[in-house]
């Protein structure tokens, strides 16, 4: 992640400072009656 990158989940949960996403991680955000947004983390 780049400095200043923010991951907003809408859950009011704040991950620890040493948390970082890794290549091949999968992020799913589901909104009832709308659907699921799925993103895969890739290495740059």
What confidence score (pLDDT) does residue 13 get? 72
pTM for the full predicted model: 0.53
What confidence score (pLDDT) does residue 1 get? 52
Query: Residue 9's closest CA among 34, 30, 40?
Result: 30
Residues 6+ apart with CB under 8 A from 26: 38, 39, 40, 41
What confidence score (pLDDT) does residue 33 get? 92
What confidence score (pLDDT) does residue 38 get? 93
What confidence score (pLDDT) does residue 14 get? 75
At 1-44, the pLDDT tens digits run 567 777 676 777 777 888 888 999 998 988 889 999 999 999 87
């Amino acid at each position: 992640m780049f400095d200043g990158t923010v991951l907003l989940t809408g859950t009011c949960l704040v991950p620890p400072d040493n948390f970082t996403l890794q290549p091949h991680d999968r992020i799913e955000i589901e909104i009832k009656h709308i659907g699921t947004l799925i993103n895969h983390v890739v290495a740059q």
